[in-house]
Every structure is written in structure tokens, then in C-alpha cells.
Structure 1
Amino acid sequence: MHAKINDIQLAYTDEGNGPALVLIHGFPLCRTMWQPQVVALSAAGFRVVAPDLRGFGESEAPRSGYSMDRFADDIVELMTYLGIGRAVVGGMSMGGYVLLNLLERHSRRVAGAAFLLTRCNADDAAGKARRAELAQLVRQGKRSAVEGAFADILFAPSTSAEQPQLVDTVRSWMRKTSDAGLIGALEAMAARPDYCDRLGEFSTPALVMGGAEDRIVPQETIAPFAAALPNSSSCIIPKAGHMANLEQPQAFNTCLMDFMRLCSQAFDAPRNDSGNA
């Protein structure tokens, strides 16, 4: 499905009925990564919405205008278009950065915040330089550098050995991401603020989930992240790397579903199919 959101065509999946869950994908991926969660949680009595961020998947890719503010505003406008007043929002990796922006600027729309394999800190100088280098390589037609930088560290070593088809599938999603989306998101991530010292301001019920073998967001960062949030819980997915939702979908879904049930009192439970709210 597609909707005209903030002057671009945004692609999204919308399945199920009940309390709403909005899932925001990571970089450089797309909403297809959420299929195991869409199937399981919609069958369990939840409405699951998974958009492609601008520049990714099947969404339109403008040449400019990428920022965490813009990504967050797109999510809010899509929720309004779909008649969703409040939702639990789950953000994986880059999607977690968007979620932090939502909590800062649109907290009334967030009934629960699921931080999925993500972090609260901004890039350091080396990280900003690396993102700038990758963006420049994409401009030079060397976009395979992005795939090379991310594909090999997204998975637990056991996943790479035992599920090579899954690794190949995720690589194929990366190859479909537009150049504009890659460049825009790299620059947006480099410019994002640090929220670690501000987590105490966010009283929204929160979940912080990590992968036991995540090499991008190490397991030891999860407990401090959760502890800094006033109203949070956490879980670690065993035998999983940065793509825990695909590597260990059953354990991932159980943790996320428990959080959805915990937050269910705060939702707009009835589905509104009438269009704009």
C-alpha cells in the first residue's frame, strides 16, 4: 500500500486489528524485514503497521530533505492518515534514532517505545567521518561499499554459517535501496543528537531489546540504556546478532508481544478504517 505523506509516496504494510504497533526498519533495509513480526503479532490481535522510510524500499526517494525530524514527521503523518491516534512504536537500529526523535517531539502519539537493537548516543567524530566517507562513495557510484560495511556484521557468526540464504536475502534488500536514501540517511544519522543524558525525561513505557551476539550494539549497552529510562524493561535475545528479529523470530516476537500486552491499556484499540483521523 502507498499513501501521499508530506509530498512523497510512502509505502507501508498494514495488517491486523486491535492495538497498533508501528515498526520502523533499520539502515539500509526496508519494511520487508518485519514480515515475521507482522504475521505473528497481527495473528495475536494487534494491528501492525510497517512503513518504508523515505528513500527506502518502495517509498519515493527525493533527492534531498532527509533528517531524523523528517523521518519522524512522516511516521506521525502516516499514523494520522491511517486513523491511529497513539501506537506502540518499535525502532530497530536507525529506526530507534527515529523513535527517540518521536519521543522528543511527538510523545503524545507514542503509547509505548520499543528500542530494538539500537543505542541512545550520537556518533563520535570517527563515526561521523565514516558515514561521510560512505556517503561520498555512494555519490561516486561505489554503493557496494555500504553493503560491505554492514552485511558482514549484521548477523551472529552462527547465523552466517547456518542460514546463508537469510544473509543473502538481507543483502538483496540493501541493493534495492536508492542512492538518495543511502546518502540522506547516512547524513541524518551523523547529525542526530545524543539522547543518553535525556532518557530520564521519557516516562513512556519502554522496552530495550538486544541480541546476545550483536556486534553493532553490544549486549552490555542494553542494561544501562534500560536503567536510564524511568519506566522500562529489557530482554536479550540469545544466539542473535543485529538482525535478531529474523535470526530468532520466536524469541523476539515473544518479548515484543509481552510488551504490547503490557502497554495495551494505553492504545487506541479499535481500528479506524475511515481514512484521515
Structure 2
Amino acid sequence: MIFTGIAFCILVAFAIFALSKLKTKRAKTFPKHWHKLLVNNVQFYKKLPANKQKQFQQRIMLFLSEVHIEGVQLELEDIDIVLIAASAVIPVFGFPKWQYTNLSGVLLYPDNFNEDYEFGKKSNNRIIAGMVGTGRLEKQMIISKKALHHGFANSNDKSNTAIHEFVHLIDKMDGDTDGVPELIMQNAYTIPWLKLIHKEMEAITNNKSDIRHYGGTNQAEFFAVASEYFFENPKLMERKHPDLYNMLKMSFSQ
């Protein structure tokens, strides 16, 4: 989800303060027991050969050396850190030198939140599972722990909130969050990609697609939702949406 409004200055101040203290729970070298966490929870990693798993581990540690993760009213667990880092690595694993230069911190909330960043049981309209910040929250991401874990609980449900948000960051790195990821997509494919996007969005609007309905919101959300589908259930996408599958496979260098 792309979120532009800044409702609570208090939360903004807390985010900046928390991230500046660099309390992120991370290790300098990949902890051996994280391998089991990845195998048990991340199908993308589990399916990799041993040498590629080593590369994935290295990419996780690189990400954690550059991005600070903070828990908001919760104690960070290893599994939280592993899943956030895996979500970051999966969509850019085909690019060995990739760095999220537009991200410096991730705030993990206990549950979904509303537009005022409230997540307590008494708060209304808690429908936001994740967001990429703008304005004073530029280079920050907020994600619900509940949504984070749910995204990896079922590897075939075509939905993963954390991957969705990291795809928004990939899209945003060319300066515009517009559904056209210029840094990973060759210019020659931009027009075919836009035609494909609008064709699929029309199918979503007419209830003739199995792509999640939120993908019909705009181009940016379509790219993020389609990418969730691609990484969560590539075989199904290849069968039902071969053109979309091939375009994403080429773009993500998978």
C-alpha cells in the first residue's frame, strides 16, 4: 500500500528517534539456526540449491547491515527479522549488487493499523497491513507482524504483504511509484508492459481474473499485487497468465 498522509507527529518523532538509536536486533554473521527458520517458513529459500542458499544468507546479512528494524510495543524475535529480510531479498535475488537505497528502517507493528497509525483493539478502521512512508517518513516502512507472518504461512495463496511493500520500493527507486519499474525493466518492454497492465486491470474490474482485486486500484498496486502472485505461486501464474508471468520473470531476472 502507498501511503502519503502523515497523521500523527508523535509517531513520526518516535520512528525517527527509535531508528536513530540503532537497536535493531541483528548479527554480524549469519546465525546458523536462521537456516532452519528459513527452510521451515520461506519456500523460495527452501527450493534453492545449497550454493544459492548461501548467497541468500549473505544477502540477508547485507540487508540487515543497511536497514534497521524496530519493534513497536513488541519484542523482536529472530523469526520476525528473518521474514522481513527474506521479503526484501526475494524480489531482488536476481540482482547480486542490489541495495535498497530508498529504505533505512522498518517498523514492525503488532497488528494492522489505521490511517492514524493506531493498532489497538479500540482503534477503528485498522485495515492497513503495510505501507511505504513518504514525507517525514521517507525511507521508512511500517508493516504488521500479523500480516508479515500470514504472508509466509501459506506459500500458495498468491498474497504476501511484506513482498508487496518491497516491490513498491523497487518501483519507487526510479523516482516514481507508477507500476513501471524502470531500474529492472528494459525500456523496450515499457509499452508492452503498460498494455498488459491495463488489460489485466480491466479483467480484474470485470471479475474475470484471479488476481487479487486490490491490483485493479492503479498501476503501482497492480505491479505489487502481481508480484506477490509471481513469487508466491509462479506455476499457477505461468498457467493462468503466461504473458504476465514471462514479463515478471524477465524483469525480476528469476
**TM-score, scaled to structure 1:** 0.25
Please report the TM-score for the alignment, with normalisation by the length of structure 2.
Answer: 0.27
More strand, by proportion: 1
